[in-house]
């Protein structure tokens, strides 16, 4: 099993998307890219820690490649907005790929280069590509949030469209 860490705004959204990808064994919501140890959610969302809301993906590379994960990631959030996703604003909602090795770094940069060349988004991609720091799991209440709260307005308005993008754009990768 391999690990990948990405941040695409609210971790409830990215967790829900990647839980539905073939080859993904588990998805953990948490924080990465900041400057303090064991950051509590309350401090992160107030912008005090430098962390991004992120997910750690445990996946089987025999079933899904790192490149495919990055392609899904880029397609299911807006990588062109700096420090925000929709109504969620702040550095903790930034778009980021936290790579664990040079191969992951080069793969992420390659996907961004392909998307830029094809003008997929029409605007510049501002996704941060940075070395992974320690990943800190979030409090338990944040785990599996979408699956436990599908009736919530946020889930229906914000997360459902991201899952629909996965289901239509990446049918071959859906569990």
Catalytic residue numbers?
Answer: 10
> In the beta sheet, which residues pair with residue 29?
55
DSSP 159: I
Tokens of 145: 């949030």
Rounded distance, CA 30 to CA 7, Å? 9
Q: What is the CA radius of gyration of the chain?
A: 15
Rounded distance, CA 137 to CA 119, Å? 35
Burial of 120 (0-12, 13-18, 19+ CB in 10 A): middle
Q: Please count the CA atoms within 13 angstroms of the CA of 26 that sit on its side-chain side.
A: 8
Strand bridging mode 84-85 / 95-99 = unpaired
What angle do helix axes 66-75 and 160-169 make, rounded to 10 degrees?
Answer: 130
């Amino acid at each position: 099993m391999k690990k990948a860490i990405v941040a695409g705004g609210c971790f409830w959204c990215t967790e829900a998307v990647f839980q539905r990808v073939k080859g993904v064994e588990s998805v953990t919501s948490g924080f990465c890219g900041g400057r303090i140890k064991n950051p509590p959610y309350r401090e992160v969302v107030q912008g005090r820690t430098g962390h991004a809301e992120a997910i750690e993906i445990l996946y089987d590379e025999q079933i899904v490649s790192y490149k495919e994960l990055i392609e899904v990631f880029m397609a299911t959030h807006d990588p062109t907005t700096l420090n925000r996703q929709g109504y969620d604003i702040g550095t903790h909602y930034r778009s980021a790929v936290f790579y664990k090795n040079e191969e992951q770094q080069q793969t992420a940069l390659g996907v961004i280069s392909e998307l830029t060349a094809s003008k997929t988004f029409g605007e510049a991609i501002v996704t941060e590509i940075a070395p992974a720091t320690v990943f800190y799991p979030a409090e338990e209440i944040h785990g599996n949030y979408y699956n436990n709260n599908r009736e919530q307005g946020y889930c229906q308005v914000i997360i459902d469209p991201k899952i629909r993008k996965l289901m239509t754009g990446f049918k071959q990768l859906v569990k």
